A and B are shown apart, each in its own frame.
Chain A
Amino acid sequence: QFVLTQPNSVSTNLGGTVKLSCKRSTGNIGSNYVNWYQQHEGRSPTTLISRDDKRPDGVPDRFSGSIDRSSNSALLTIINVQTEDEADYFCQSYSSGIYIFGGGTKLTVL
């Protein structure tokens, strides 16, 4: 089965734009849906993006998901970054009934 690799940490400026990557090791990134989760310190995860690019009700449109086939990666883009966006972000995909999580990226807002 494949591995999803995320950078351990990313820093960005308040009000800026950041792209968090999730690179699939083998196989086509587009073969299985990718979901993105946000987790604040001490809290349960929340779903930011499902099925590559679908935003659940209540998630601000500052968050968007996409697939970059050239790098075999899923991307989470956050525009107009706010202080409350400082959190851990996890990508997740599937392989034959198995969930595969990335290691997570800690986003710091400067």
Chain B
Amino acid sequence: EVQLVESGGGLVQPGRSLKLSCAASGFPFSDYYMAWVRQAPTKGLEWVAYISAGGGGTYYRDSVKGRFTISRDNTKSTLYLQMDSLRSEDTATYYCTTIGIPWGQGVMVTVSS
């Protein structure tokens, strides 16, 4: 079955770190660029980061540059998002996504003291 399964979310204090994972299955993961997209409660979709198929190219939205790191392990068909120096405004459901593959269920990240 073609699917993306996110994990690693939770409640974290401001300034702390969290690492999200996205396990891919049912398609040739190493052939696909991947992205993280988030959605704050009652808000729209917001792109966070992008990584090329081979992992050599990465892009970030300005508000997470220097704090978040996107990476991938093509041998494990897994995408990651290392989130450091978390802020309350990072509170959202995080989705991993790529073109042509159904979205996963997402993972909730809550940044609060």
* Residues of A bordering B, CB below 8 Å: 35, 37, 39, 44-47, 50-51, 56, 88, 90, 92, 96-104
24 sample A-B contacts, Cβ–Cβ < 8 Å, listed by A number: A37-B45, A39-B45, A44-B95, A44-B103, A44-B105, A44-B106, A45-B103, A47-B99, A47-B103, A50-B100, A51-B99, A56-B100, A88-B44, A90-B45, A96-B59, A97-B59, A98-B47, A98-B50, A99-B35, A99-B37, A100-B47, A101-B46, A101-B47, A103-B44
> Which size class do B's interface residues fall under?
10 to 19
User: Whole-angstrom distance from the CB of A24 to the nearest CB of chain B?
Assistant: 16
User: B44 to chain A: which residues have CB within 8 Å?
Assistant: 88, 90, 101-104
What is the 8 Å Cβ interface bit string for chain B, positions 33-54, against chain A (1 contact, 0 not)?
Answer: 0010100000011110010000
Secondary structure of the A side of the interface? strand
Known contacts: A35-B99, A104-B45. The answer to whether A99 contacts B104 by CB under 8 A is: no
Any A CB within 8 A of the CB of B15? no
Give the CA-CA distance A90 to B37 in the complex, in Å. Answer: 13
* Residues of B bordering A, CB below 8 Å: 35, 37, 44-47, 50, 57, 59, 61, 95, 99-100, 102-106
Give the CA-CA distance A71 to B19 in the complex, in Å. Answer: 42
